[in-house]
Amino acid sequence: MTTQLSQNLTPIYEIELRLGNVVQSIDEPAGSKCPLALNFLHQLHIAEIRDQIALPASVEYWENRDSHYPMQNGYRCNVTGHVISGPLPTGRGGW
């Protein structure tokens, strides 16, 4: 990764690693409005993130359910345009 991850998203990254999630890919850029996307292999630990981090107003939760793109959810920093994501829960157990 040549670009440093947004400081606003770093606590999410650290929680995910601590809870055993694994970075699947880093896209630099990930489209015209996203200079960096860090994609985890497993679902993000949304409840733990909400319980343990006071996210700044510039960080927004998002979900993509459009089947033309990867079905993911995550957080976007509106200051840097960086994104952290993971696959959406499937409802079949797992992470």
Q: Do 34 and 81 form a contact (C-beta atoms < 8 A)?
A: yes
Q: Show me where the domains of the chain are located.
A: 10-87
Q: From residue 69, how far is each of 11, 26, 48, 65, 88 by CA, in Å?
A: 26, 16, 26, 8, 12
Give pLDDT, residue 6: 95
The terminus-to-terminus CA distance of the chain in angstroms comes to 26
Q: How far apart are CA 52 and CA 35, in angstroms?
A: 27
Q: Which two tokens stand for residue 82?
A: 């960086």
Segment 7-64, tens digit of pLDDT: 999 999 999 999 999 999 999 988 788 999 999 999 999 999 999 999 999 999 999 9
**pTM score, whole prediction:** 0.88
